[in-house]
Structure 1
Amino acid sequence: MLHLLTVTCLISSQRFLDARMFATCSDDCSVSLWDLRNLRQSICQLKGHTNWVKNIEYSRKSGLLLTSGFDGRVLTWDINKYMEDGCSHERVFHTHGLMRTRLTPDGSKMVMSTAMGYLIVIHDLDLSTMSEDLKFFNAANYMRWYHIEQMNPEQDTDSLYFRLPKNRVEIVTDFVPTENYWYITSLQVHPQGWCSLSRYTSPDDDSEWTCVHDLQDYPKPKPFKHGQKMPPHQTRPRLTHFIEEANVGRGFIKELCFSDDGRLVCSPFGFGVRLLAFDPKCSELCDCHPDTPVQLYEVKTEMTHADTVLTTKFSPIHCMLVSGCLSGKIFFYQPAL
């Protein structure tokens, strides 16, 4: 029997929590919980955002639902304690220009993209203490401290956030080309959590790129005694791969994706899709990690739509790919590489 879900607003994202329950978020600032056994109405609506809600993640480690939106807020919900009128939430993070939020599969990291031209990565994630640990964090202040450290290594900038044993903040700024200011509109995480995949555009929509950033941990900072001066923050480039996109359909967000094994990337490319790999052998990233950033390898391009492709997704089970375009048409592919 086919169950149909009817909604009156635009659904931005959805996430299954188990075999029968899933959550959706929408542009009416709400999040809804659903049960597959009865889709006539939602179990409950979760109210807490003040702008479009664009992301839903579920942390199995903590049992918390995590949502974020264009209000800059990242909220957690204890859905095991929901009532008919909703459930309580906690604001664990806030930043201006927040676009997308993703958790790594093991729940150890949170990755956020912004309209400010950088990624925010939270290492050793602990949602239970994140709100307290990062209550004074401000991305703009951190960027100011970072530039001071680069210009004057002797300057004590009190980079508090890299001392924390949990919820350590890293801001990733290396993109191609380096001189531009980017809107990072689409974000995905590798199935093994090894890297992030992002799509970004210039403010004038004149250029559009896809890139891959390494998410592997650096050695943890050594603990500091009270009053001891912290040395300058040592950075390492995160960018591993990049490629320029067709830049068709300006102003629309294009969602790209990883294959289930993480060896392929599918990217909207004009009126079709483009399959990309880390190298010509379609190797896993761990087997072909470059010392300097290199261009993604173009495996195959399929032009099948009559309008701009906006979204793509690999099947988690079958060798199948689906794409959707601006006019609403959907195509299924069984790629033969």
Structure 2
Amino acid sequence: MGNKDDSVFLAKYSAFSPYRLFRREVGFAPPLGAGDALARSLYCGMKPIASWSSEDSNALPTGGVFNLEFSPDGSLLVAACEKKSIQIFDSLTHQRIHTVNGAHSDCVNCVKFLDGRMFATCSDDTTIALWDVRNLKKKICSLLGHSNWVKNIEFSMKDKLLVTSGLDGSIYTWDINSYSECNLVYQRVFHASGLMRCRLSPDARQMVMCTTRGLLVIVHDLNLTTLAQDLHGFKPNMYRLMQTSNQLIPIAAQYDHLFDAKRSQNRIEFICDFPEGNDAEVVSALQIHPLGWSALSRNISHDDRSEWSCIHDIQPVCSARHSAVRSPPPAAAAPPARRARRPPRRPRPRPYRQPRPQATVTPALPEQPGTSALSRRAWAEHRAAAAPRAPAAVPPAARVSEPRLGGDLSSVQNDVWEASITIKQHRMLQELAGRGQGHRNFNMQRIMGINTGIAPPAARARPRARADEDQQSISPISPSTSGQTPRAASPEPEREATKHYIRQNRDRLLYYVEETNEGKGFIKELCYSADGRLVCSPFGCGMRLLALDGRCGELSRCVENFTGPRPMVDVGQSLGHHQDLVVSCKFSPRFHMLVTGCLEGKIVWYEPFSGETMY
């Protein structure tokens, strides 16, 4: 039977028609669009069928339901609650079967199942706890290592490692199969200022992080064993500032190799493209597609007036023509013609020094014979720029969200402050070179480097780049074009200075939608359906179901002829059945079931239902 006949029958019969069942029994392939029609008929009929709250069951108050997690077989549902407890439900009967009061000494933030019987929880008390569903009277163990609220837990089936992240900016791995007298064997594998969430793809081949600076960071070909060594000293916020300013920052540029498309493991990529009108600042929620195709995030705009949910492509692109563009910053203005003079002697590379805190006292420039008024004015401008002052104001979104997003976010500004001082320093040196005072550049640079704590790091030996399609059209940045002191050409090629590039990011945005801006300061955990066709997003005192198109199509088909970012489609009416702000939602991995939780502590189950609701 042809496709035309199939489309006629598909339009004539419903998703559960005898004709469709007969074709499936005899072994015929489903007609084109059958899966979309079935998904739409199920998801558009989602209705509330049951609910639970501590008030109805005469239990201790639970506070807000911050996270919901199903067991791998979908039989159990665990709720992480604000008032230090976890609630466990039977998914099919919707009855509470166990309560653990005082699971932590502060609110519980996240739940993650490691297998069918063991799960982990994390809390604002900076600890992670392991539990066994067969004996919940006592936790298996507590993991100590974080220094601030722990917000996220992931588990790598490939490496058998637990991965946790918190508002201290650190990501830790825990070997749950190791035992010691005090704690499990663990390692801090990465640190980034302003880290909010850390997620792993289902096959643990990718790690995606989001920050309070409106940035998504992807680690392709993830190797948790060598991640700490490969990314040691890398600061995403500083590298991003170098990209936006188009000004070379030596401390950041030395990590250019992490973006190389030819890296076999732990390759870095930035995502920073958002829809028009969305000046993303705090990316607070993050989820990965069930097949690892895309990342779903929710962010708060810089002006704190709007929230957006976005879907970005995260699949690795191995082709050279798709690799990240490397562009040099604009070269410094050529100095006016003057008589040839001997170039200044280049000193030995100074080792990198840890930047001093912002309360560093700026030393005065001693008066020297022959110092021009221009040099003194330039030095005065630099002292004004580098003078101790209050840290930059925390964005309104982060400030309002302090009770939930973190206690002290002042560390977010540290690496950006360092980079901004370096940019001002280089631009000043370029201006001096353009005015014919390049012979004083090195002394000025040396004094500034000591004062700000940012000294040019020692040149690192880099492998010679291979001539390919990606690198033939790229021009490197030499020291003379980045504001550094020029030097005479060396006859020995192996002594040439290391060439740096500024990587530019590819556009990854696929779909987006603007959300309601209610409940400022609380993280709203959105989620994918088990088949990845639908997105459930908290919406005020309810939630709404969003699809990529009106047919509830899969992502792979929706982006075949992709022409640009498009808004997501609301496949049904918004469902609001809570009395307070909804902050969590979760689809069952096995059944067409959806659960939502709110700040009041109420949990509501939704299922496809036709007829009178039982709610």
2:593 counterpart of 1:305: no
1:225 maps to a residue whose letter is R
Q: Does 1:174 align with 2:413?
A: no
* Deviation string, structure 1 residues 222-272 (Cα, Å, up to 9, x no partner): 995277846663532110000001112222111100000000000011111
Q: 2:534 aligns with which of 236, 260, 264?
A: 264
The aligned amino acid for 2:273 is D
SS at match of 1:128: coil
Q: Partner residue of 1:196? A: 295
Residues 302 and 3 of structure 1: CA distance in aligned 2, closer, same or farther (over 3 Å): closer
Amino acid at match of 2:570: E
Higher strand share: 1
**Is the Cα contact below 8 Å between 2:278 and 2:301 reproduced in 1?**
no
1:52–1:69: 8 Å Cα contact kept in structure 2?
A: yes
Q: CA deviation at 1:90?
A: 0.6
The aligned residue for residue 509 of structure 2 is 239
1:316 Cα deviation from its structure 2 partner: 1.1
Tell me what 1:101 maps to. 198
Match of 2:119 in 1: 22
Q: C-alpha distance in 1, partners of 2:579/2:213? A: 33
- TM-aligned CA deviation for residue 27 of structure 1: 0.6
| Equivalent residue letter for 1:81 | S
The one-letter code sitting in structure 2 at the alignment partner of 1:251 is G
Kindly indicate whether residue 307 of structure 2 is the aligned counterpart of residue 208 of structure 1: yes
- CA drift at 1:178: 5.5
Q: Distance in 1 between matches of 2:583 and 2:286?
A: 14
How big is the shift at 1:296? Answer: 0.4
Q: Which aligned pairs between 1:218-297 and structure 2 lie closer than 5 A?
A: 218-219=317-318, 225=464, 229=499, 233=503, 235-289=505-559, 290-297=562-569
Contact 1:321 1:335 in 2 (8 A): no
- Give the gaps of 5 or more residues in structure 1: none
Q: Which amino acid aligns with 1:124?
A: D
Q: Deviations over 1:262-309 (max 9, x none)?
A: 000000111111000011111110101132100001111212222211
Measure the CA separation in 2 of the matches of 1:332 and 1:304.
Answer: 10
Cα distance change of structure 1 residues 72 and 157 upon mapping to structure 2, 3 Å threshold? closer
* Structure 1 residue 204: Cα displacement: 4.5
User: Which range moved further: 326-335 or 130-139?
Assistant: 326-335
Hey, what's the Cα distance between the residues in 1 that align with 2:144 and 2:233? 25
8 Å CA contact retained: 1:44, 1:84: no
* 2:243 match: secondary structure: helix
Local SS of the residue matching 1:333: strand
Q: 1:333 aligns with which of 606, 611, 614?
A: 606
Show the counterpart of 1:162. Answer: 259
Question: How far apart, in 1, do the equivalents of 2:577 and 2:99 lie?
Answer: 28
Larger-Rg structure = 2
Cα separation, 2, equivalents of 1:336 and 1:206: 36
Q: Compared with structure 1, are the counterparts of its residues 256 and 179 closer, same or farther at alpha carbon in structure 2 (3 Å cutoff)?
A: closer
Give the residue type in structure 2 aligned to 1:89. Answer: Y
1:46 maps to 143
Q: Distance in 2 between matches of 1:146 and 1:224?
A: 23
Q: 1:64 — aligned with what?
A: 161
Q: SS at the partner of 1:161?
A: helix
State the distance in 1 between where 2:290 and 2:545 align.
Answer: 17
Q: Which one of the candidate residues 91, 102, 114 is aligned to 2:188?
A: 91
Partner Cα distance (1:196, 1:293) in 2:
14
* Distance (whole Å) between structure 2 residues aligned to residue 26 and residue 292 of structure 1: 40
Which has the larger displacement, 78-87 or 299-308?
78-87
Q: Deviations over 1:147-187 (max 9, x none)?
A: 365x89xxx94512113421111111101235624111111
Q: Is the 8 A contact 2:545 2:571 kept in 1?
A: yes
Q: Which of 131, 139, 145 is the aligned partner of 1:34?
A: 131
| Residue 74 (structure 1) aligns with | 171
CA–CA distance in 2 between the matches of 1:178 and 1:45? 44
Structure 2 gaps of 5+ residues are 1-89, 91-96, 324-461, 466-495, 611-615
CA gap 1:206/1:193 in 2 versus in 1, 3 angstroms: same
Partner of 1:322: 595
Evaluate the alpha carbon distance shift between residue 47 and residue 220 of structure 1 in structure 2; reply closer, same or farther with a 3 A threshold. farther
Distance 1:71 1:232, change over 3 A: closer
Measured in 2, the distance between the counterparts of 1:122 and 1:114 equals: 14
Per mean C-alpha deviation after superposition, the further-off stretch among 288-297 and 101-110 is: 288-297
- Structure that is richer in helix per residue: 2
How many residues align structurally?
Answer: 333
- TM-score normalised to structure 2 length: 0.51
Deviations, residues 30-61 of structure 1 (Å, cap 9, x unaligned): 01111222211111111000000011101011
Identity in percent: 47
Structure 1 residue 97: deviation in Å?
Answer: 0.6
In the alignment, residue 5 of structure 1 is paired with which amino acid?
V
Return the alpha-carbon distance in structure 1 between the equivalents of residues 582 and 213 of structure 2.
Answer: 25
Which residue type is aligned with residue 210 of structure 1?
S
* Shift in Å, 1:140: 2.5
Runs of 4+ residues deviating >4 angstroms: 220-224, 226-232
Point out the more displaced range, 18-27 or 279-288: 18-27
TM-score by length of 1: 0.92
Check conservation: 1:200, 1:210, Cα contact below 8 A: yes
Separation in 1 of the partners of 2:577 and 2:237? 43
Matched, 1:4 2:99: yes
Q: Cα gap change, 1:87/1:157 in structure 2, threshold over 3 Å: closer, same or farther? A: closer
Q: Give yes or no for the alignment of 1:143 onto 2:240.
A: yes
Distance 1:253 1:115 in 2: 12
Greater RCO (CA < 8 Å, at least 6 residues apart): 2
User: Does the CA contact (< 8 Å) of 2:162 and 2:174 recur in 1?
Assistant: yes
- Going from structure 1 to structure 2, the CA distance change for 1:35 and 1:102 (only over 3 Å counts) comes to same
